Structure 1
């Protein structure tokens, strides 16, 4: 089973709408229901702007886009340029097939070797054991818990704040 990771393009909009529209996928994210190809086409077009500093990747399995991941600046503050937020989503049918590991490998490699990122940050719902295990595998640690962090399906749910520091920061 070969997983290909590549930069996302506007041509991936239909795939994003398909798997991000799955209630079992968006329930684990900060996405909302009723997504569309048009919404994703606009988001993907905007993400290609190099001035924004975002990196958006997709994973393909058997030629189908089954996952996405992104690195995003945490803000415009000069003092926080060393940190980026990481997000990841995997289509239901591809969960447990190594797609998450492939996406995390690509994200951490990019952050560590090319983007000068010292700190990767993310949030994850406290009941998402599979995601937490994946993040721990890549050196992320829980730094705190946000109570009633987000509304999900009519209930407020908690989320962990996790972070990973560069394991071998660049030297001169």
Structure 2
């Protein structure tokens, strides 16, 4: 199992943030962080009321990343508080185990400070060292210009659009899939 070595990054706001692998003891704080950033984001395809995992279930979720050889769950921590996370969820199917999908979120006050770059860079570097992974992908609202710019900057390429994939408050949004090779 390929471990992630914690790192400290300096953000644009000059604050030092630790990026490290999530641990089972992070379950409650990570759950609280996610419950805070979901309603703050117009581009996370989940509603606040859909976050209904118990702390025990969140511990099991974290453990699934810890025991998987093609998955990674990182948290960003500032002043002992989790402020964001990124997960790289490797496929459990043998024929697709060389692929993994990224999901990321952070508290609103930490956006546009370089945290997304730090989380993505850390994840991609880990994936490149991982002997199983070859292709990393993500899905993004086509209207999410900040996200699109970040993903393009990190080397992701656009590979397909599903029209009207997301529907929120009777409004439709297109889903853009992006990929990056980590071979």
Q: TM-score range by the shorter chain?
A: 0.7 to 0.9
Structure 2, gaps ≥5 residues long: 1-14
Q: What is the TM-score normalised by the length of structure 1?
A: 0.83
Cross-structure match for 2:155: 139
Match among 6, 16, 39 for residue 2 of structure 1: 16
What RMSD in Å do the two structures reach over aligned CA positions?
Answer: 2.1
Secondary structure in structure 2 of the residue aligned to 1:120: strand
Q: Are residue 28 (structure 1) and residue 38 (structure 2) matched?
A: no
Q: What is the TM-score normalised by the length of structure 2?
A: 0.79
Structure 1, gaps ≥5 residues long: none
Give the distance between the partners of 1:5 and 1:75, measured in 2 at CA: 25
CA shift, 1:74, in A, is: 3.2
Q: Are residue 148 (structure 1) and residue 150 (structure 2) matched?
A: no
* Distance change in 2, residues 1:12/1:32 (3 Å): farther
* Distance change in 2, residues 1:82/1:51 (3 Å): closer
Farther-moved stretch of structure 1 (15-24 vs 114-123):
15-24
CA shift, 1:135, in A, is: 0.9
* Distance change in 2, residues 1:148/1:85 (3 Å): same
Match among 82, 86, 89 for residue 72 of structure 1: 89
- Counting matched residue pairs gives 164
Give the distance between the partners of 1:159 and 1:46, measured in 2 at CA: 26
* Distance change in 2, residues 1:52/1:119 (3 Å): closer
Cross-structure match for 1:56: 73
Deviations 1:60-117 (A, max 9, x none): 12332111101112341x3322211111111101101221111111100110012432
Farther-moved stretch of structure 1 (149-158 vs 56-65):
149-158
CA shift, 1:130, in A, is: 1.1
Q: Is the CA contact (8 Å cut-off) linking 2:69 and 2:132 kept in structure 1?
A: no
